[in-house]
Structures are given as C-alpha cells and as structure tokens.
Chain A
Amino acid sequence: MLSDVIRSMIEHQPDMRVVCEVLDPIELLRTMRLVPADVVIITPLKVNGDQRICNHLLEEHPLLKIMILSANSKAGLLFQMGVPTIRIDDPSEQEILSALRTIVR
C-alpha cells in the first residue's frame, strides 16, 4: 500500500518517474544493473535488511542516492555516498518530494 502511495505521488510529478518497482533485495540488485535509477526508495514493509542492501547497492553504484523509509515510515532517511544527509521525521508527501529534488540536483 505504501509503495502504491509513493509511486502515485511520484507519477504525479512532472520532473520524476518511477522506472521500476521490485519486491525483494535480490531483485533490487539485479534490476539496478539493468535499469539505472537516480534514487532508490526502500520501504521497510517490502524489503528487510536495509543497511546491507545499501552497502551492496553503493558498492555497485557509488553515486546512487538512497531514501529509506524507516519502520512504519515515521522517518525518512536520505543517503548520499552512503552517508545519511537528510532525516525527515514523520514526512509529508511534499517533504519527501522536496528532499528528493534537493538530493538529485
């Protein structure tokens, strides 16, 4: 449900698009080799072991930006170069979108 919400939110933006949606970490790593993305958003309800996935992703794609929505998505964390740079508590749609634009710019 949360991933549907995020996809819908992004699809309504003129400057963003969802290139792929996956359900598990292995699929994520495999897909990223085929469909490069600027940002990966990880929702905890679908993908577990967030930190290990981040490490794997960043090894293969060092410039990748990653947004992790914490358990229940009560906080959003944005990683650049593997370092958390933005933390948003209980983020709204607008705050998530704004953070994504900031980090990709």
Chain B
Amino acid sequence: MQESIQIFIADDNRLLREGLVSMLVEQNDMLVVGKAPSGREALEQIKRLRPEVALIDIGMPDKDGIELTQALRQDAPEVKVIILGMIDLSDEIMQCIEAGAAGYVLKESSFDHLVETIRSVHRGESFCSPQMTASLFTRIAELASEKMPKLQNSVKLTVRELEIITLIAEGLPNKEIAQRLFIETQTVKNHVHNILDKLQLQNRLEAVRYARERNLLKQS
C-alpha cells in the first residue's frame, strides 16, 4: 500500500486552512498531520511533527512565509516547502527560492494545481506554474545582465596581461617577469595594477585564481 504524503498547513486564513485540510484528506495519498495560524506556531509544530511537505502562506503574523522557510532550512531541512503566494511577482518568487522553497503556488490557483504541486515537490522536483516559470526566467535574465559587465572584463585582458598572469601563476616575482618578457619592472607593475583594476580584485593571488577558474592561463 502506498504511504501517504504527510502535509502541514500554515495559514492565518482559518477558512482556507480548514478547507484545505478537509479537501486534502480526501486524496488517497495525502495525510494532513498538523496546521497552524501563525509562523511562530508553525515552526514549533513542524520541528516536532516533521511533515514531508509544508504548505506555507506567504503573509502570516509573527513570522512571514519567507522567514519561516528560512528557519525551516536550518531547523528541519528535510521538510519540502510550498509557498502559497498572493501575487505573481518574480522578485517574490526569487525570494522564496532563495529562502529554500521547493514550490510556489498562487492562492488563486485551483485546488487541483495545488495537489499536483504537492505530489511533484514530494517526488523531489521543484515546481511553479508555467506562467510563473516564464516571469522567473525573465528575472534571472535581468540578474544575469546586471552581472555581465564583470564577466566582460575578463575578455578585455590583453595578450600581455594574460602572459603576466600566467607568469605570476608560475610563482615569478615582478623582476623575473620583466626579464622573461624583456620589459621594465615598472612596466610589469603597471600591468599588474591594470589587471587588478579591470577585474576589481585585491591582489595577485586573486588574479591567478580568477584566471585559473576561467582557463585564461596560457599554456607554457
């Protein structure tokens, strides 16, 4: 016989909380092990009851859904959290994901959608609706483009600068690098200064690590 998915419901809306309990218990594969009207009470109960899936309202008194999810990541990391959200805001969904939520369902979604999400999350999948996935990808693209200038700096390093980083990685001091490249020591210092400035790094070690991680070091 298939074991039931153990579910906890945290929502300050009594009607929704009780209603979801009534409807979820009618599912053959689900069991509601507890419910709470506030974030603080939910945290205490979830730590004690250890459900497999927790449905958490995003806007609760005491401790909101995101704070509760963060606390659960510390205190009950095995519990899979599905946030019940009010609005389709990519920033809010991103916050929930960062907090550790495995799923995000709008309260205006159907009950069937919630049930489908619970089963998916219980199987170990992350879940949000296709509409939300689209806005999420848009937000990720925005965040990625904000980081682009830093990445572009790596390709702006000149051939000479890459030569110098490679020699630094071999452990050579500035004077020996100068001798190897037939340039003045002060010129090497200038190049090193420019490299650190371009990459917004503090020292030579960080520059070497940066170049190594991006396979920028020249083969000797």
Q: With an 8 A cutoff between CB atoms, is B47 at the interface?
A: no
Residue in chain A with minimal CB distance to B37: A90
Q: With an 8 A cutoff between CB atoms, is B49 at the interface?
A: no
A57 to B93, CA, bound (A): 37
Shortest distance in angstroms between B206's beta carbon and chain A's nearest beta carbon?
A: 50
From A46, A72, A90, A93, contact of B19 by CB (8 A): A93
Interface size bracket, B side: 20 to 34
Contacts of A5 in B (CB 8 A): 15-16, 19-20, 22-23, 111
- Verify A46–B108 contact, CB threshold 8 A: yes
Shortest distance in angstroms between A45's beta carbon and chain B's nearest beta carbon?
A: 5
- Verify A90–B14 contact, CB threshold 8 A: yes
Q: With an 8 A cutoff between CB atoms, is A31 at the interface?
A: no
Contacts of A4 in B (CB 8 A): 19, 23, 110-112
A96 to B111, CA, bound (A): 20
Residue in chain A with minimal CB distance to B107: A1
Q: With an 8 A cutoff between CB atoms, is B109 at the interface?
A: yes
Q: Which residues of B contact A (CB under 8 A)?
A: 12-16, 18-20, 22-23, 59, 84, 105, 107-112, 114
Q: Which residues of A contact B (CB under 8 A)?
A: 1-2, 4-6, 8-9, 12, 45-46, 69, 72-74, 76, 90-93, 96
